[in-house]
């Protein structure tokens, strides 16, 4: 057992330094130094399955494996469908298989990226995780999907953008490695939402104007008063329900939420860069993945993007890439400037 096993937010340690005993001050300083020296970066995904694939890399084609946790919480669970095998008839298995394929296709066809790590990493998904489990996540190696409780949430594979969102968490880990805390964490969440909805739009052949810009629209049951879990066009309006509560996402920096919940509100403040992307994409028109998506993709793959980047730094780098790709001045740079101004972010 070491001090490392707990997390005390820095502002509380500051208070102890001010008022605590000499002994406490010593302890607090050690922890503070530790915090300063450490911004947890999970690092690139651990591609345990890659070695096993060996030279079987198949650029342009995913290597999908869908497992079934059979309502338990053991990963990866029993394998149900491998690449190339026919549909199983289990909607969760087949939805996960199809959605991972659609996500792979977006990144390959638009950005020439070969999977999560650009090295053909197999796409491993587990469905039927837990009992009534109302979540989906990326655990550093694979994607995991619950069935939902049936009352508020349906199975999490129903939404293509949700499956894609989880895969993109893996991709971010192998690129920008955005620390999952405060503004860099909200960027991590936002970029996952962005490429989640882009996957859906790409799959449906929708333009920015045609898309609904909702995240997780297919998850909610009829009983919930709401249209989705998040709205990129109008953050804070996705649901208002007696059981779920009210969508708390801000759409502008003036409403930025300072909180110690949810790792500093990573799923809350992501509404701000989400709306910036929506504003840029709809201003530019056409297919959102062609211009705005390209700019965002190059930004998260840019080694200059620090893993603790804030909104302003991220915004500045999107402008750098827009200028490089389309020239400055250009319609694209202008649209981006307007988009960031529209959510109160001053690019750095």
Binding site for Zn ion (CB under 5 A): 189, 192
277 binds another protein (CB under 8 A): no
The least CB distance from residue 341 to Zn ion, in Å, is 26
Q: How far is CA 93 from CA 86, 99, 157, 227, 334, in A?
A: 11, 10, 8, 25, 44
Q: Is 62 in the site for another protein (CB under 8 A)?
A: no
Part in contact with another protein (CB under 8 A); list of ranges 61-69, 83-91, 117-125, 148-156: 148-156
Which of 110, 227, 244, 253 contacts another protein by CB under 8 A?
244
The whole-angstrom separation of Cα 172 and Cα 169 is 5
Element (H, E) at 137: strand 136-138
Residue 80 backbone dihedrals phi, psi, to 5 degrees: -115, -30
Contact 150, 132 (CB under 8 A): yes
Q: Which of 71, 88, 237, 263 binds another protein (CB under 8 A)?
A: 263
Q: Which is nearer to another protein, 249 or 318 (CB)?
A: 249
**Structure letter (DSSP) for residue 226:** B
Among 261, 286, 328, 329, binds another protein (CB under 8 A): 261
* Catalytic residue flag (residue 166): yes
151 is an active site residue: no
Number of neighbours of residue 23 by Cβ within 10 angstroms: 8
Per rule CB under 8 A, is residue 30 in the interface with another protein? no
Q: How far is the CB of 305 from Zn ion (least distance, A)?
A: 18
Strand 143-146 and strand 123-129: the pairing is parallel
DSSP letter at 339 equals H
Catalytic residue among 67, 128, 165, 267: 267
Question: What CA–CA distance (Å, rounded) separates 267 from 256?
Answer: 12
Report the alpha-carbon distance of residue 91 to residue 320 in Å, rounded. 43
Among residues 84, 89, 205, 245, which is the contact residue for another protein, using CB under 8 A?
245
Please give the angle made by the CA atoms of 39, 189 and 345, to the nearest 5 degrees.
85
Q: Which of 166, 173, 175, 189 is catalytic?
A: 166
- Closer to Zn ion at the Cβ: 79 or 135? 135
- Phi then psi for residue 104, to 5 deg, are -55, -45
Binding residues for another protein, how many (CB under 8 A)? 54
Contact between 140 and another protein by CB under 8 A: the answer reads yes
Is the preceding peptide bond at 151 cis, omega within 30 degrees of 0? no
Give the shortest CB-284-to-Zn ion separation in angstroms.
25
Catalytic positions, written as ranges: 166, 267
Which residues of the shown chain bind another protein in the complex (CB under 8 A)?
1-9, 12, 16, 19-21, 24, 40, 42, 73, 134-140, 152-153, 156, 162, 165-166, 169-170, 173, 180-181, 216, 219, 229, 239, 241, 243-248, 260-263, 266-268
């Amino acid at each position: 057992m070491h001090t490392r096993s707990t997390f005390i937010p820095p502002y509380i340690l500051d208070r102890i330094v001010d008022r605590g005993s000499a002994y406490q001050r010593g302890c607090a300083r050690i922890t503070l130094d530790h915090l300063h020296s450490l911004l947890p970066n999970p690092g690139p995904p651990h591609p345990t399955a890659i070695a096993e694939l060996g030279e079987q890399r198949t650029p342009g084609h995913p290597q999908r494996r869908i497992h079934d946790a059979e309502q338990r919480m053991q990963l990866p669970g029993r394998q149900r469908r491998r690449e190339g095998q026919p549909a199983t008839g289990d909607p969760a298995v087949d939805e996960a298989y199809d959605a991972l394929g659609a996500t792979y296709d977006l990144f390959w066809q638009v950005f020439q990226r070969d999977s999560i790590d650009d090295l053909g990493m197999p796409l491993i998904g587990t469905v039927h995780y837990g009992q009534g489990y109302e979540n989906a996540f990326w655990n550093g190696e694979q994607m995991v999907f619950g069935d939902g409780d049936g009352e508020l949430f349906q199975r999490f594979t129903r939404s293509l953008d949700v499956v894609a969102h989880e895969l993109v968490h893996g991709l971010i880990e192998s690129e920008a490695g955005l620390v999952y805390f405060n503004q860099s964490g909200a960027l991590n969440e936002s970029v996952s939402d962005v490429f989640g909805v882009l996957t859906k739009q790409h799959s449906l052949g929708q333009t920015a104007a045609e898309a609904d810009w909702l995240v997780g629209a297919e998850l909610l049951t009829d009983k919930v008063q709401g249209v989705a879990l998040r709205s990129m066009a109008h953050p804070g309006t996705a649901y208002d329900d007696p059981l779920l509560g009210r969508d708390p996402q801000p759409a502008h920096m003036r409403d930025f939420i300072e909180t110690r919940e949810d790792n500093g509100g990573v799923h809350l403040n992501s509404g701000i860069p989400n709306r910036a992307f929506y504003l840029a994409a709809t201003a530019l028109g056409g297919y959102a993945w062609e211009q705005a998506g390209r700019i965002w993709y190059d930004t998260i793959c840019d080694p200059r993007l620090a893993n603790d980047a804030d909104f302003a730094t991220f915004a500045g780098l999107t402008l750098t890439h827009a200028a490089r790709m389309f020239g400055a001045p250009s319609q694209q740079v202008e649209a981006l400037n307007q988009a960031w101004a529209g959510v109160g972010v001053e690019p750095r």
